[in-house]
Amino acid sequence: MNYRPEEIEALVRQVVNRVMGEDVPTTTASSSAAKRPLIDADFINQLPPNSTYAVPANALVTPLARQAALERHIKLEEQTVAPPAVAPTSQQVIAIGADHGGYGLKETLKKMLATTLPEYKVVDCGTHSTDSVDYPDFAYAVAQLVGAGRAWRGIIIDGAGIGSCMAANKVPGVRAAMCYDQATAVNSREHNNANVLTLGAGLIGANLAQQIVQTWLATEFGGDRHAKRVEKIMAIEKRFTR
């Protein structure tokens, strides 16, 4: 069965309305009554060609609207929502976790944090022995605390640090970076504002790991030109988590 474009648009609108559970205005993109405005092709066709439109944060843009924007040479700039400010605390929380391959290094880092950086409160997400476990479980445990704002930073250790980094980055709000020396630790914080650090216990020794952690925790985000790029990283995430 062939549908006309306007029929397809109506179907899309019905699906979006059903998912959202509310009536969404389709004639305007800025109605204060809608929690998540819907940008449809009709709205895009009312904009002047060769223009730029700032899509409100959390707005839903239909496929036909994107196609109409492409045909009319209209650039859609999707706005991002600033994360809520977190009140400073006297003791910032660091979530730490590891699989069986990273258990020993996790214990070493816990002792280092307790003795040399007592201003941080460490939350141990496991594992608690060298018995074989699956690294994604512990990467998720750490990452979800950071993503939910219940921990300031997260540290995850497995054999290579790669798998845990992949798993952690699936959690909304997390920017995990695998670091293997102090230079990558500085870069991940200064340029990328990483909030989760992953380490490979089979690739680096305990002394280097401690240096990396200390450097990573002490390095501030550079902001400025880097902020715009990090915002674009988070905007990509929001495309798939709405």
**Which residues are marked as active site?**
191
Report the 10 Å Cβ neighbour count for 1: 3
Tokens matching residue 122: 């460490």
Q: How far apart are the first and last CA of the chain?
A: 30
Are β-strands 38-39 and 120-124 bridged in parallel, bridged antiparallel, or unpaired? unpaired
CA dist 39 and 27 (Å) reads: 8
* Phi, psi for residue 32 in degrees, rounded to 5: -75, -15
**C-alpha dihedral sign at 222, 166, 77, 13:** negative
- State the Cα–Cα distance between residues 99 and 198, nearest whole angstrom: 12
Location of structure tokens 């504002």: 193
- The set of residues, in sequence order, having a beta carbon less than 8 Å from that of 24 and lying 6+ positions away, is 13, 16, 17, 34, 36, 37, 38, 60
